[in-house]
Amino acid sequence: MKCFIALNVFLVTAALGLASPLFAVTATTIPVGTVPIYVAVNATTNRIYVSNLISNNVSVIDGSTKTVIATVAVGNSPAGIAANSTTNMIYVVNTGGNSISVIDGSTNAVVATISGMSSPFGIAVNAATNRIYVANTNANDVAVIDGTSNTILTTVSVGSSPFGLAVNSTANLVYAANNVPGTISVIDGASNMVTNTFSLPQAASPGNLTLAGC
């Protein structure tokens, strides 16, 4: 078992393995950029990607050696980050730049910049359909991006201030956490339509989403 956790002390801690039946953990500390905020993993290539909010770059970590092998400059205030393990493309949300940087995992170079976002934050990838979903907090919608052409196919209106996103690639469903009303919008990936909305307990302000813990 391997988990990578972004910390706000300018470090990334890689918790490696279950060392005993008592779940003792051995940790390795890896210095990265300034204010690391989110992490994405490509399990196929064993590469870990860390978005550094203040230094405006992404640290690329080799999971075998646990060292930074590249630092990739991206847009302003990178936050959310996601990897498509099938295409080996990494998508970085530039919250301050209202754009998405697309990094080719084989070269560690930015190969495209997708504009037209509105205070984007959360991002999720469906590797089965090669679709990328971005939560636009100011526009109250989710942008649907074609991973082949790196263009926005459509936007889907959800609740107020969507933050986190998660994808069920098997069911082709996308879940958006709407921070202000405390709801979850369910988007059908085939039709790009909201098919259901769940209300959370009173005073809930959802942020990030996950379908399964690490």
Average confidence score pLDDT of the chain: 86
Please write the tens of the pLDDT for every residue from 152-207: 999 999 999 999 999 999 999 999 999 887 889 999 999 999 999 988 766 555 55
pTM, full prediction: 0.85
Same domain, yes or no, for 89 and 127? no
Average pLDDT over residues 78-102: 97
Long-range pairs for 193-198 at CB < 8 Å and ≥24 separation?
Answer: 193/156, 194/156, 194/157, 194/158, 197/159
Q: Which of 93, 72, 91 is nearest to 82 (CA)?
A: 91
Rounded to a whole number of angstroms, the CA Rg of the chain reads 17
Residue with the larger pLDDT of the pair 104 and 22: 104
pLDDT computed for residue 201 by the predictor: 66
Final residue of a domain: which of 96, 115, 134? 115
Q: Which domain holds residue 151?
A: 120-214
The total number of structural domains that make up the chain:
2
